Amino acid sequence: MDEGKKNSVLVVDDENSNIMALTDILSPDYTVYAAKNGQSAINAADKYLPDVILLDILMPEMDGYDIIAALKSSEKTQNIPVIFVTGLSNVDDEEKGLTLGASDYISKPFSSAIVKLRVQNQIKIINQMRLIIEKELADKSNRAKIEFLSRMSHEMLTPMHAIMGMTRMAKKSEVSGEIKEHLEEIGAASRHMLRLINDLLDISDE
């Protein structure tokens, strides 16, 4: 995540009062998006890619179970953590939600402190995973650069040795003073280039 940019939460509930309450709880710390039905929720998740989704279960047309199933079936949204926020308190309902891929479960009426902590925990996990991924990508990029430098340096050694050898041979032949000066310049430049290549090889071997 870009420095200074807030993590985001999508609140999905068909009751305005619940959306407003959750928005009031979370908006000081997060960017909050809202959706009142299943299709709007899927569209919003696809568009905004929120870090966490708070999802009600009992809603008309598409219920929370249908929505999470759709989210988890999409490659773009399948890794977004979903926390069910629902009035259903039966263990079977909670088990079904977790089986479908929910990361957590909050019962209504909800506590502001619990909502904050549950969301905060998911955000911490997400941010830690992002740091790990960024480090892996940086390490991979560095390895690729080092391998490239090593390969190119070795590729340059052969023609450079050929240039230096041919220059030495040319200097031993009967040539004019001006040409010998040019050959000296070529020799000096070649030796300098060889030192640079060896420096690159030393860096790539570290």
**68 and 30: one domain?**
yes
Q: Is residue 91 part of a domain?
A: yes
Whether the per-residue pLDDT at 165 is higher than 90: the answer is: no
Q: What is the rounded average pLDDT of the residues 77-81? A: 93
Q: What is the rounded average pLDDT of the residues 13-17? A: 95
pLDDT of residue 205: 62
Question: Residue 155's domain spans which residues?
Answer: 140-205
Cis before 109 (ω within 30): yes
Q: Is residue 64 part of a domain?
A: yes
**Distance between CA 109 and CA 89 in Å, rounded?**
11
144 or 179, greater pLDDT: 179
Residue 103 sits in a domain whose CATH number is: 3.40.50.2300
pLDDT, tens digit (0-9, with 9 covering 90-100), for 31-55: 999 999 999 999 999 999 999 999 9
Q: Alpha carbon 12 to chain centroid distance?
A: 26
**98 and 15: one domain?**
yes
* The total number of structural domains that make up the chain: 2
Q: Is residue 121 part of a domain?
A: no
8 three-class SS: strand
Q: What is the rounded average pLDDT of the residues 115-122? A: 93
**16 and 102: one domain?**
yes
Residue 181 sits in a domain whose CATH number is: 1.10.287.130
Q: Is residue 27 part of a domain?
A: yes
Q: How confident is the model at residue 204 (pLDDT cuts 50, 70, 90)?
A: low
Among 41, 85, 89, residue whose Cα is nearest residue 66: 41
Sequence-separated (6 or more) residues with CB below 8 Å from residue 114? 106
Q: Is residue 117 part of a domain?
A: no
**179 and 101: one domain?**
no
Tokens of 194: 């060889």
Tokens of 171: 């200097």
Q: Is residue 77 part of a domain?
A: yes
